[in-house]
Amino acid sequence: MNKLFSRMIIGLTLVAVLAGALAFGATKARAADGTFNVSVYHGINGKALGLSKELPVIASVYKDGQLLAQLPLEFKDRFNADLPAGTYTIMVSAVVDGKMIPVPSMTVGPVAIPADVDVRLQAQLAEGGTPILSVRVK
């Protein structure tokens, strides 16, 4: 189960990488083209959960109910991107024995994200060692 949490966190980081690949433009440009900025950081060292330091996961990103991407992530990955406004859900899953196992504490959404905001997601450990996604919107 600990490996599952680690892999889910990595997945979120990969989602950020995807966003980084799409990133460009200033805040004014984002407002004009209907996008928001997202930054994702995988901040959980798997050793804290008794797993590998990399804590690989798969992050599944859904926009308006449709799968946008499934990305593998590892510890300390950081990504930025501009994405179109819409309703997003991010689900992190660990890969155990070739199977994706969802980590409910690492699910965000569905949530409507408007244009011209900055969204920051950080995978971290809550009290008791539960992996969570900390979300800040500016």
Model confidence over 87-110: pLDDT tens digits? 999 998 877 667 888 989 999 999
Whether 95 contacts 103, CB under 8 Å: no
What's the confidence (pLDDT) of residue 86? 95
68: its two tokens: 């946008």
Domains of the chain and CATH, by start: 2-137 (2.60.40.10)
pLDDT digits (tens, 9 = 90+) for 5-49: 444 444 444 444 344 444 433 445 555 689 999 888 889 998 888
What separation in angstroms does the CA of 60 have from each of 91, 115, 123, 138?
A: 5, 21, 14, 23
Whether 4 contacts 96, CB under 8 Å: yes
Q: Does the model's pTM come out above 0.85?
A: no
